[in-house]
Chain A
Amino acid sequence: MTRKLIAITACATGVAHTYMAEKALIKGAKKEGVLIKVETQGATGIGHRLTTRDVEIAEAVIFATDTKVRDSERFKGQLILQVNVSAPIKDAQKVIEDALKLADKK
Chain B
Amino acid sequence: MKGLEVMTLKKIGKELEQHIMTGISYMIPIVIAGAVLMAISRVGASFYGISDIWESKWADSANLIIRFLNTDDGWGGMALDLMFPIISAYISYSISDKGGIAPGIIGGMLVANMNAGFLGALASGLIAGYTVKLLTDNIRLPQAAKSVLPVFIVPVVGTFITLFLIQYVIGVPFASINTGLAAWLKGLTGTNKVLLAAIVGGMVGFDLGGPVNKAAVTTAMALLTSGVYDPNTAAQVAIIIPPLGLGLATIINKRKFNHDLQEAGNASLVMGLIGVSEGAIPFAVESPLKVIPANVIGSAIGSALAVGLGAVNHAPISGFYGWLAVEKWWFYLIGVAVGTLIVTALTLLLRKEQPMEDKAIEEESDEGDYFTEDEWES
Q: Mark out the residues of chain A between 56 and 72 whose CB falls within 8 Å of any chain B CB in the assembled complex.
A: 57, 70-71
Docked-complex contact B94 and A37, CB < 8 angstroms: no
A5 shortest CB reach to chain B, Å: 11
Whether the Cβ atoms of A26 and B375 lie closer than 8 Å is: no
Decide if B98 touches A35 in the complex (CB within 8 Å). no
Additional A-B contacts beyond A37-B376, A71-B98 (9; CB < 8 A): A1-B378, A2-B378, A22-B368, A27-B367, A35-B375, A37-B368, A48-B368, A49-B94, A54-B376
Which residues in A have some Cβ–Cβ distance to B below 8 Å? Answer: 1-2, 4, 22-23, 26-27, 30, 35, 37-38, 46, 48-49, 54, 57, 70-71
Give chain B interface residues in 188-223, CB to chain A under 8 Å: none
Q: Mark B366-378, 1 if CB is under 8 A from A, else 0.
A: 0110110001111
- The answer to whether B368 touches A35, judged by C-beta atoms less than 8 angstroms apart, is no
Would A57 and B376 count as touching, CB distance under 8 A? yes
B97 within 8 A of partner (CB): yes
Decide if the interface of chain A is mainly helix, strand, loop or mixed: mixed
Q: How far is the CA of A25 from the CA of B370 in the complex (A)?
A: 12
- What are the residues of chain A within 8 A of B98 when measuring CB–CB? 71
Q: In the complex, which residue of chain B has the Cβ closest to the Cβ of A23?
A: B367
Q: Could you list 16 A-B pairs, sorted by A, with CB under 8 Å?
A: A1-B378, A2-B375, A23-B367, A26-B370, A27-B367, A30-B370, A35-B371, A35-B375, A35-B376, A37-B368, A37-B376, A49-B94, A54-B376, A57-B377, A71-B97, A71-B98
- A26 and B367 alpha carbons, distance in the complex (Å): 8
Q: Please, how many angstroms separate the alpha-carbon atoms of A49 and B25 in the complex?
A: 14
Q: What count of chain B residues pass the 8 Å CB interface test? A: 12
Q: Give complex CA distance A91, B376 in Å.
A: 24
Q: Which of B22, B98, B368, B375 has the most A CB atoms < 10 Å from its CB?
A: B368
CB distance from A94 to the nearest CB of B (A): 20
Which of B97, B367, B370, B376 lies in contact with A4, CB distance below 8 A?
A: B376
Residues in chain A near residue B371, CB distance under 8 A: 35
Query: Chain B binding site: helix, strand, loop or mixed by DSSP?
Result: helix
A46 CA to B371 CA in the complex, in Å? 21
Q: Nearest-CB distance from A81 to chain B (Å)?
A: 20
Give CA–CA (A101, B161) in the complex, Å.
50
Q: Is the CB of B375 within 8 A of A46?
A: no
Q: For window 331-378 of chain B, which residues contact chain A by CB distance below 8 Å?
A: 367-368, 370-371, 375-378
Chain B residues with CB under 8 Å of A26's CB are 367-368, 370
- 3 residue pairs, one from A and one from B, having the closest CB atoms: A35-B371, A26-B368, A30-B370
What's the minimum C-beta distance from A26 to chain B, rounded to whole angstroms? 6
A57 cross-chain contacts in B, Cβ below 8 A:
376-377
**B97 close to A46 (CB less than 8 A):** yes
Q: In the complex, what distance in Å separates the CA atom of A35 from the CA atom of B376?
A: 7
B residues in contact with A2, CB < 8 Å = 375, 378
- CB proximity to A under 8 Å, residues B61-113: 94, 97-98
Contacts of B94 in A (CB 8 A): 49
Q: How far is the CA of A37 from the CA of B366 in the complex (A)?
A: 12
Q: CA separation between A28 and B98, bound complex, in Å?
A: 32
Within 8 A of A (CB), among B98-131: 98
- Minimal beta-carbon separation of B194 from chain A (angstroms): 49
Please name the residue on chain A nearest to B15 by beta carbon: A45
| Complex alpha-carbon distance, A30 and B367, angstroms | 10
CA distance A27 to B94 in the complex (A): 27
Complex interface: chain B residues within 8 A of A22 (CB): 368
Give Cα distance in the complex from A71 to B116, angstroms: 33
Which residues from B are CB-within-8-Å of A70?
A: 97
Which residues from A are CB-within-8-Å of B377?
Answer: 57
Closest to B95 in A: A45
Minimum Cβ distance to chain A for residue B373 (Å): 10
Q: State in angstroms the CA–CA spacing of A48 and B366 once bound together.
A: 11
> In the complex, A23 Cα to B366 Cα: how many Å?
8
